[in-house]
Amino acid sequence: MSTCTKADSEVTHPAASAPSTCGVAAYGNVDRPLDRSACVFVAGRRGLVGSAVWRHLAREGFTDLVGPGSEDLDLRERRDVFRWFAAERPDIVVLAAARVGGIKANATRPAEFLSDNLRIQANVLDAALEYGVERLLFLGSSCIYPKFAEQPIREEALLTGPLEATNDAYAIAKIAGIVQVQAVRRQYGRSWISAMPTNLYGPGDNFHPEHSHVLPSLIRRFHEAKESGAPRVVNWGSGTPRREFLHVDDLARACLHLLEHYDADAPVNVGTGTDLTIRELAELVAEVVGYRGSIEWDPGQPDGTPRKLLDVSRLTALGWSPHIDLREGLARTYAWYVENLGSGGLRH
């Protein structure tokens, strides 16, 4: 059991909480370093995002990190989640747990993506409220924004138009999480915040041939084609949609930066501010992998949203910027993929 358990007398009931205004400046800017000895619950600790957040917090000197795996705590089970919070009493929560997948997984299993994510979010957020968590970061997704939002997408675009149909169920769940965080802020004064990452990649990603996102899917496809000597690789869609990609280690840095420097209702976009076409991405992945065959496209398969580039001016105004460029990040990710390919360390 973690050492972070508080005495019952230290837990503040939600109804008794007062709004936190200490240090709040314009546009949500604060300067509020976190106690490195505080108990931090990283929900989804073994996933792509959660594992990166865990690594970064450990490097930054946090000494009491907790993050049970799904075999120990199924976040969809409300009673179990409340029992866990009652026993552990975390001070800070990073909600990175989610059912995630690429365009095919979202399009073919929307009921699971909606139900599982709603349950995970409601259980963790409700338990955090009940057991006095004052600082919480909810991680959403850039898919919350309308399909045809003006580019680059500002946070104010939320709920201004229809969603992309292939991932609307997942997006609705994430939007519900944002609204719940905002509702808790308004009703109970908790310093809870939300961040909306762009497309992520890096060590710990899911490389499943059907259920992964575009970048890890391309890495696997081109690696297998290189190993087998396949003369061509056929990718979904036209290759014309434009996407932005952020290394997950940069996201982890942004998470801690926001927890220490942001306190406001509005979600914050996290990205690089630059994008490229999926065709250009495929060519870059093939180059990094060392595949020399033909790259072809199947326009009969869906493209998804035509473009999805985030406006990251709110985050950069807080003093944050990414450190890892796409080519370097791809090379690191491919090296990790090859290293873990035969060790059982991959999610595929």
Catalytic positions are 170
Tokens in use for 256?
């801690």
Identify residue 84 by its one-letter amino acid code. Answer: W
**Which alpha helices (DSSP H) does 34-77 contain, by range?**
48-59
Per-position DSSP letters for 167-234, written without gaps between them: GHHHHHHHHHHHHHHHHHHHHH--EEEEEEE-EEESTT-B--TTTS-HHHHHHHHHHHHHHHT-SEEE
Tell me if 87 sits within 8 A of 1, measured CB to CB.
yes
Q: Residue 282 belongs to what H/E stretch?
A: helix 278-289
Tell me if 61 sits within 8 A of 105, measured CB to CB.
no
Residue 181 CB coordination number (10 Å): 23
d(CA 252, CA 249): 5
Tell me if 316 sits within 8 A of 274, measured CB to CB.
no
Per-position DSSP letters for 230-252, written without gaps between them: -SEEEEES-S--EE-EEEHHHHH
Q: Residue 258 belongs to what H/E stretch?
A: helix 248-261
